[in-house]
Amino acid sequence: MALVVQKYGGTSVGDPDRIRNVARRVVETVKQGHRVAVVVSAMSGETDRLVGLAHDLGGEVPEPRELDVILSTGEQVTIALLAMAIGRLGQPARSFTGAQMGMRTDTAHNRARIESVDTRILRETLERGHVAVLAGFQGTDDDGNITTLGRGGSDTSAVAVAAALGADVCEIYTDVEGVFTSDPRMVPTARKLERVSYDEMIEMASLGAKVLQIRSVRFAMRYGVKLHVRSSFTDTTGTWVVPEEQVMEQLVVSGVTYNRNEAKIRVRGVRDVPGIAARVFSPLAQEGVVVDMIIQNLSQDGATDLTFTVPRDAFKRALEVTRTTCGELGAADVDGDPNVAKVSIVGLGMKDHAGVATRMFQVLADEGINIQLISTSEIKVSVVIEEKYTELAVRALHDEFVDAGAGEPVAES
Ligand code: ADP
Ligand code: ASP
Ligand code: MG
């Protein structure tokens, strides 16, 4: 008998038929002799609808605490519907909100971090032979305020529950058959990976592959949770996210990802003296703006240019803050471009292969795509380009590194 945590995303519980389909899958797993805790998302489109409602009120940005109260209702609906559907198949099931199950978080509304999971109720429920149906994406802080974990957060809820219960596996059921070499909705030739390492998956998730929330993968890696990403519509084996040593074929490039939520800001003619970067970036950090790539040009006549990227939804605020700071610093000019995207290649095999970045640049050059910023790490290369070229760039890179067989296993002998 195994203890299985299953997570079903929004599309998988998108309508009553799909909820019944999930219920059948859960009951099948129980019939195979396993104990099952199920984490669910809100029905597809529901979280967006709720965010929209809060904005429709007009005026200011919704108060984060109240927004969380609204957002948590999406998952509350699905847990009850799924518990009913499971019950109607003759299998007892009970639903629990984040508060009821003891999902404790910090107080950072809309992006809270999980601090602990109280497993008492969960264990009691499972020991009674019942299925525990749990609301993803939500918890409560020490004062009982409802919190949510940020978009895609149900993945992280599921991994946290699996870690806390010491589950044998955490199955992430979604609307594609696993983790692909690129977004299968953009790249028709993308293929499913049998295994992907935690490190690669963390990079892919942080660079735009939204199939898993990045924090869920970090969590899984830290607690050694076995993650299996698979489809809720088929029985096909999906993708296992595993430690690096268990990845059989180390592909040079296992993923081509993109992120359109990017914007670029450029500060020109700022004095090139110690402390300037700290002065430019501290006010942004204080405003909660996460700066991603940063490039500083060679200085000329004691002045230099700084270019950096921020999430597009923080662009306006970041530009205002930077203009104020740079006014104080006497910089020549600050401008920005919200229409950029980041395209990246990720792969463990890059560690042993020189020239991968150069090949990437050549592919983009051949397509006439100008590279605005570059950043590299041991297992990834990212470039910022004009947004309108995103699809072209992703397909061309996939063609070069995956389709053309350049992604063959790299072996030392
Ligand atoms: P869920 O609602 O089940 O959480 P998401 O929409 O969050 O599902 O994530 C699944 C989606 O992620 C897929 O429909 C796919 O378009 C997208 N995606 C992006 N990159 C990848 C990738 N490399 N592999 C698989 N899916 C990807
Ligand atoms: N419902 C939330 C969202 O749409 C959480 C999730 O689905 O993982 O982001
Ligand atoms: Mg998701």
- The amino acid occupying position 154 is S
Buried b (16+ CB within 10 A) or exposed e, 293-311: bebeeeeeeebbbbbbbbe
- Which ligand 1 atom is nearest residue 179's CA? 24
In whole angstroms, give the CA distance from residue 183 to residue 228. Answer: 18
HEC per residue, 357-392: HHHHHHHHHHCCCCCCEEEEECCEEEEEEEHHHHHH
Q: Which of 137, 138, 173 to mutate to test the pocket of ligand 2 (most atoms within 8 A of CB)?
A: 137
pTM of the full structure: 0.93
Q: Which pLDDT belongs to residue 407?
A: 46
Residue 28 phi, psi (nearest 5) = -55, -45
Ligand 1 centre and the CA of 209: distance in Å?
Answer: 7
Ligand 2 centre and the CA of 154: distance in Å?
Answer: 6
Domains in the chain (CATH in brackets) are 3-175 (3.40.1160.10)
Q: Which of 13, 41, 46, 148 to mutate to test the pocket of ligand 2 (most atoms within 8 A of CB)?
A: 41
Ligand that comes closest to the CA of residue 77: 2
In whole angstroms, give the CA distance from residue 23 to residue 16. Answer: 10
User: Residue 133 forms beta bridges with which residues?
Assistant: 38, 95
- Which ligand 2 atom is nearest residue 213's CA? 8
Ligand 3 centre and the CA of 327: distance in Å?
Answer: 41
Ligand 1 centre and the CA of 57: distance in Å?
Answer: 31
Q: Name every protein residue with a CB atom under 6 angstroms from any ligand 2 atom.
A: 9-10, 41-42, 47, 74, 136-137, 151-155
Q: Which of 70, 151, 172 to mutate to test the pocket of ligand 2 (most atoms within 8 A of CB)?
A: 151
Q: Whose CA is nearest to atom 10 of ligand 1?
A: 211
Q: What is the pLDDT along the chain (413 residues), one digit of tens a residue?
A: 899 999 999 999 999 999 999 999 999 999 999 999 999 999 999 999 999 999 999 877 899 999 999 999 999 999 999 999 999 999 999 999 999 999 999 999 999 999 999 999 999 999 999 999 999 999 999 999 999 999 999 999 999 999 999 999 999 999 999 999 999 999 999 999 999 999 999 999 999 999 999 999 999 999 999 999 999 999 999 999 999 999 887 789 999 999 999 999 999 998 888 888 899 999 999 998 999 999 988 888 888 999 999 999 999 999 999 999 998 888 889 999 999 999 999 999 898 888 999 999 999 999 999 999 999 999 999 999 999 999 999 999 999 999 986 445 554 44
Helix axes 120-127, 154-165, angle to 10 degrees: 70
Q: Which pLDDT belongs to residue 405?
A: 66
Ligand 1 centre and the CA of 133: distance in Å?
Answer: 23
Instruction: Return the structure tokens found at 168.
Output: 């044998």
In sequence order, what DSSP letters do the residues of 147-198 get, joined into one string? EE--TTTHHHHHHHHHHHHT-SEEEEEESSSS-BSB-TTT-TT--B-SEEEH
Ligand 2 centre and the CA of 280: distance in Å?
Answer: 34
